[in-house]
Structure 1
Amino acid sequence: MRIDISLLPILAAAFMLTFARVGAMVMLLPGLGETNIPVRVKLSIALLLTLIILPLHRADYHVDMNSMAALLVMMVYEILIGIVLGATARVTLAALQVAGAVIAQQLGLGFVTTVDPTQGQQGVLIGNFLTLLGVTMLFATDSHYLVIAALNDSYRIFSPGEVVPSGDVAELATRAFTAAFKIGMQLAAPFLVFGLVFNIGLGVLARLMPQMQVYFVGVPLSILSGFLIFGVVLAAMMGTFLDYFIGVMHQMIPLK
């Protein structure tokens, strides 16, 4: 009995191309692409997703084993597509950092910073809390499956071997960044109103009672009142963020 192994090089090339797209996306995904996640865990997840995606889209890869340059170009395209998909999902978390920075500024906690465990860099305390809570809710509500669905459907938008449409990518990036800033400001809207009313009240109080140390009274009261409001609106804030994340993922999934 003879076994035909002539397809193995083509299959191996298709596997590496698929892994390039999946791996680049996994390295940037919220919750999976964090700096504190071991690299071996990321690679294991990327390999597992590749084994799932490859049989579904093996026919989309038209590999020419006689041209190494064409393979390298396809590899670069696949990596770029993975980066675009992963970065789009990653930018959604920036909305929580924007909201956290605005909230901290309104409460007088803008100087309180800690290390963001998702990025390994300094960030405002409230922003880091909202980011961790957002990632937790994505997994708790199984919203991360939408990212895998977007990865699977990306083959209908970005076919392997085709030139990446730079105009569409630029439009997607612009829309993602503007939407993240917009949602971040909307999440922090109650605190913008609170900060405006509270500071106007302190200004009036300072004019009525010049001998009173308004700063020493206002800062603790601002923090206490702000945290009370934060506890009241937190559920609505995270619900709005989840709707925003789901909407972004659905925009990446083409209509059937």
Structure 2
Amino acid sequence: MLNAVLSAEVFTVFMVFARVGSAFVILPTIGESFLNPRARLAFAVVLSIVVSPAVEPVIPTLPPDLPGMLRLLFIEILIGLFIGTAARIMFMALSVAGSIYSFTSGLASAMIFNPLAADQGALISIFLSMFGLLLLFVTDAHHLLIRAVVESYTLFKPGEFPMVGDMSDVLARTTADMFKLGFQMASPIVVVALMFFVLLGLLARLMPQMQVFFIAMPLQIMIGLFLLMTTMSGMMIWFLTNYREFIIQFLPY
């Protein structure tokens, strides 16, 4: 019955769209919530039509029944969500670095609207995330994200259920690497803040009558903003280098 409704070409496009569309929901740059959903949907459909002839040899034949077709679609959607989630988790290193900067510089209470998550967030965290998103477009790193989705057919064969245990392990290690990268990016402010608070403790002991908090707060904010200004270029270069190396892992060559 399904053979009479769907041709092999339409089925191939539909299978490719299941993987590409599910990945584009979560991927950084392409899957941001503030982008027009219709534009993202149209881009996923066009890319699926373009990619379908190249991956048609590895696409399984149209199943004779509905449960078989739903099984194939579930596998494709699972693979697409896995790739998008891994890329999104690694991108959140910018948010981690910004949160550390905000906390150690005394700007943790400076909250503004976060267009990436449609909620409120720390000022520096949102700034670094938006700046990193811009750099991904400027350096054409979003092309690597698209290639990772398109060339995933070499790593994940359509119709073959992926190893969920290995996928979970990859996501767990990606989360650990994300926190590690975020802490590395914020390491200058961590070292300076530690020395600054030690000196404040000594000053409070030497001069108990001095209001250390009122003296330290403006100085703490100035030091934090100065370090952010002087280390931002190196910080973003380090992020782009590590992020590109992470995405290249999903490419077969």
* Alignment counterpart, residue 232 of structure 2, candidates 234, 237, 241: 234
Query: What's the offset of the Cα at 1:172?
Result: 1.3
Post-superposition Cα deviations, 1:51-109, rounded to whole Å, max 9, x if no partner, equal: 22111101111223422211110000000000001111111221011111111110011
Aligned to 2:119: 121
Aligned to 2:91: 93
Post-superposition Cα deviations, 1:36-65, rounded to whole Å, max 9, x if no partner, equal: 112101101111211221111011112234
Q: Does residue 37 of structure 2 align to residue 10 of structure 1?
A: no
The 3-state SS of whatever aligns with 1:111 is coil
- Which AA in structure 2 matches 1:156? T
- Taking the TM superposition and a 5 Å limit, the aligned residue runs for 1:210-249 are 210-249=208-247
- Which AA in structure 2 matches 1:86? G
Relative distance call for 1:6 and 1:72 in structure 2 (3 A) is: closer
- Structure 1's unaligned 5+ residue stretches are none
When normalised by structure 2's length, the TM-score is 0.95
The 3-state SS of whatever aligns with 2:64 is coil
Larger mean CA deviation between 44-53 and 230-239 belongs to: 44-53
The 3-state SS of whatever aligns with 1:86 is helix
Q: Does residue 149 of structure 2 align to residue 151 of structure 1?
A: yes
- Which AA in structure 2 matches 1:159? K
Aligned to 1:112: 110
Aligned mates of 2:175, 2:46 — CA distance in 1:
30
Contact 1:63 1:71 in 2 (8 A): no
CA RMSD of aligned residues (A): 1.5
Aligned mates of 1:8, 1:21 — CA distance in 2:
18
Larger mean CA deviation between 64-73 and 119-128 belongs to: 64-73
Q: Does residue 21 of structure 2 align to residue 19 of structure 1?
A: no
- Structure 2's unaligned 5+ residue stretches are none
The 3-state SS of whatever aligns with 1:27 is helix
TM superposition outliers: structure 1 runs of 4+ over 3 Å: 5-8
Aligned to 2:76: 78
Query: What's the offset of the Cα at 1:165?
Result: 1.0
Query: What's the offset of the Cα at 1:7?
Result: 10
When normalised by structure 1's length, the TM-score is 0.94
Identity of aligned residues (%): 35
- Taking the TM superposition and a 5 Å limit, the aligned residue runs for 1:128-207 are 128-207=126-205
